Structure 1
């Protein structure tokens, strides 16, 4: 994808490139600086994509926001820019706002993390090289030469793993390349108009825009700390923009800067200390955990009749499972979606409708647990059948949001007058109200990486034994836990829901040892850390 993006960028910049070739007089003379910038940026791109492939997104994102700090230092060392107090403090405060939002976890340092830490100063170096080039070069020339270097650098690895994109992917790639080209052109123009240091606090705004896009396009609701961090970033960017404009006006009028800087320093010390204390008080939390809903209880569903002897039966759902779930040779249960008859589709719809019509609050807690688990799994199968064939459940984009993916936030059910989604069942009912990590082993998301969809419906009578059996089966299967070349790879479930498994790696490992077979348990005891996570989102369908 990286190669294709930059190759398409060359298409957008073709007029600029042709103009430079034809017009010798306007051709660049600063080959050395162009080459250095192109090589550094290309290496940075390679390191960035390596990091993306080996560590969680948040662990890539957080170190990336150190680039403005490196750029500020580089601007002072190599461009001779004066480091006014307002600029330094704005960069620090902007970074503090980023920390508030991301709250990166303190984890074992991996090669991916080191790669991203290496990419940040390289990207920063390309920034102040761009600033230097704006003294003599056209914006289009600066961006075009960089795109050529990156495209040529990425060509060999791209050929090695080449896969032709689909038409839909090409549309997205053209859109991405167009926006990226516009970004580089506008950024280069910004360097032409202002000093690098003055622009760095503004760069933190990209996290704010990403948050807003996630909210309006994907239906991702930001939490309190996202708003707090965003407010800090916007304040920092607004302040530096205002102060730079004031400073430029004073410079034109011949007014001294020293007195103003002295006053700013006094007022800013207190504000800076408060901001940094706030960032530290937030604490550090793995950002990957923010990518999934937290266990936020829905009080409405705490109601239960503890003395009720009523029993919920799942005969129709159990019959469908027995006939359509098959065990594959590799130990993963598959569902024969293609084989489901029209009559059985109707039977499944009727079963889901029957379950949602039950007054579930009038049953005891044991019956409710079996109810919510079976309803979740039955609704998932029903939904996949409605959209079949699909390669992955992620392609069922029915959740709210313009560019949403997956079905989990769609209100598919109505129970006791309440609209309920799959995410509601998992994250607002089952996880917080039962607080049993083994629940993750009995919920199936129609994916190969998910714990098995059992061939029998769950009942209150055998729930405890079934939970333990499901935990043992997943932990001892390679998609749950495996060692590869001495490194421990676990399912991403243990990263996404680490709070349910003890809150840290120590807790996860203790949980894994509890259900691991003797040989695996011994290896886990000796290893003592989680190296990688993995998850297979392909559909759990059988041909």
Structure 2
């Protein structure tokens, strides 16, 4: 996959941050977009290559910490925090690489702290406090990616405030129509879904909606309401390539 064409805008944004300290959410999102286009392919990340030559990742991760959200709109904050989560996860894996799973590092999600927009927080705090609790949008579960095979696939682009709603819908539809993510067995009248729906059930069942009802809201081919619902085991193997 060609990567050279993305380096110039990425380098410009990162150098600007180094020179002036604080950066805007737009600058960080643009730099993240260039990084994801260069390093993510079909939801997979070449962590080994980033470990050997990851200067742009290190600078991007620092940029997440230096971003100021003063005066930012809700959409700008939401897009920034989604992108910051994905960058922090990739950086966390690269720092400890080689790993077979993010769980190989104790406290990867709930103990290790990251500087995000000037504040120290764990990945769990970033996901729950800054995104899920702040915005109440279950589609977030399809765009923040925990570096595991069973996660929804990591996008090869950054999330942008001016098209965020469409991007969130797109990624939710992508996951929920993927037969490996939503496993429908019509012969047995059963559907097995990700443990995400079990762990975060309350996010998907607001207003009395069922998990199956939420899923069908994004499905091209609806799942009958009488199908039994199960949860397959989460595969925490690293989403590397």
Shared fold by TM > 0.5? yes
Q: Which residue of 2 aligns with 1:410?
A: 112
Separation in 2, partners of 1:415, 1:506: 35
Post-superposition offset of 1:504: 9.7
TM-score (norm 2): 0.82
Structure 1 residues 506, 358: closer, same or farther in 2, change over 3 A? closer
Q: Which residue of 1 aligns with 2:228?
A: 529
Q: Which residue of 1 aligns with 2:164?
A: 463
Q: Provide the secondary structure at the position in 2 that maps to 1:312.
A: helix
1:494 aligns with 2:197: yes
Post-superposition offset of 1:319: 2.1
Q: Which residue of 2 aligns with 1:445?
A: 146
Q: Provide the secondary structure at the position in 2 that maps to 1:477.
A: coil
Q: Which residue of 2 aligns with 1:338?
A: 48
Q: For 1:10-25, what aligned pairs fall within 5 Å after superposition?
A: none
Separation in 1, partners of 2:137, 2:230: 25
Separation in 2, partners of 1:449, 1:441: 11
- 1:374 aligns with one of 63, 76, 83: 83
Structure showing greater radius of gyration is: 1
Separation in 1, partners of 2:50, 2:157: 17
Q: Which residue of 2 aligns with 1:358?
A: 67
Structure 1 residues 504, 390: closer, same or farther in 2, change over 3 A? farther
Structure 1 residues 503, 366: closer, same or farther in 2, change over 3 A? closer
Post-superposition offset of 1:455: 0.3
Q: Which residue of 1 aligns with 2:32?
A: 317
- 2:93 aligns with one of 366, 372, 384: 384
Confirm or deny: 8 A CA contact 1:396 1:407 kept in the other structure. no
Q: Which residue of 2 aligns with 1:509?
A: 212
Post-superposition offset of 1:408: 3.2
1:395 aligns with 2:98: no
Q: For 1:19-418, what aligned pairs fall within 5 Å after superposition?
A: 312-313=26-27, 314-327=29-42, 333-340=43-50, 342-343=52-53, 345-397=54-106, 399=107, 406-413=108-115, 415-416=117-118, 418=119
Q: Which residue of 1 aligns with 2:131?
A: 430
Separation in 2, partners of 1:426, 1:358: 17
Q: Provide the secondary structure at the position in 2 that maps to 1:361.
A: coil
Separation in 1, partners of 2:139, 2:178: 15
Post-superposition offset of 1:528: 3.9
Once the two structures are superposed, what CA deviation does each residue of 1:298-326 show, in whole Å capped at 9, x if it has no partner? xxxxxxxxxxxx76132332222112211
Separation in 2, partners of 1:452, 1:482: 16
Q: Which runs of 5+ in 1 are unaligned?
A: 1-309, 328-332, 400-405
Q: Which residue of 2 aligns with 1:540?
A: 239
How many residues end up aligned between the 2 structures?
215
Confirm or deny: 8 A CA contact 1:370 1:458 kept in the other structure. yes
Once the two structures are superposed, what CA deviation does each residue of 1:414-463 show, in whole Å capped at 9, x if it has no partner? 543x3211111111110011101101110000001001110001111111
Separation in 2, partners of 1:346, 1:408: 26
Structure 1 residues 535, 415: closer, same or farther in 2, change over 3 A? same
> What's the C-alpha RMSD, in Å, of the aligned pairs?
2.1
Once the two structures are superposed, what CA deviation does each residue of 1:140-193 show, in whole Å capped at 9, x if it has no partner? xxxxxxxxxxxxxxxxxxxxxxxxxxxxxxxxxxxxxxxxxxxxxxxxxxxxxx
1:473 aligns with 2:174: yes
Separation in 2, partners of 1:408, 1:323: 29
RCO higher in structure (CA 8 A, sep ≥6): 2
Separation in 1, partners of 2:232, 2:92: 28
Structure 1 residues 434, 414: closer, same or farther in 2, change over 3 A? closer
Confirm or deny: 8 A CA contact 2:25 2:69 kept in the other structure. no
Separation in 2, partners of 1:495, 1:407: 18
Separation in 2, partners of 1:409, 1:452: 24
Q: Which residue of 2 aligns with 1:54?
A: none
Separation in 1, partners of 2:164, 2:116: 25
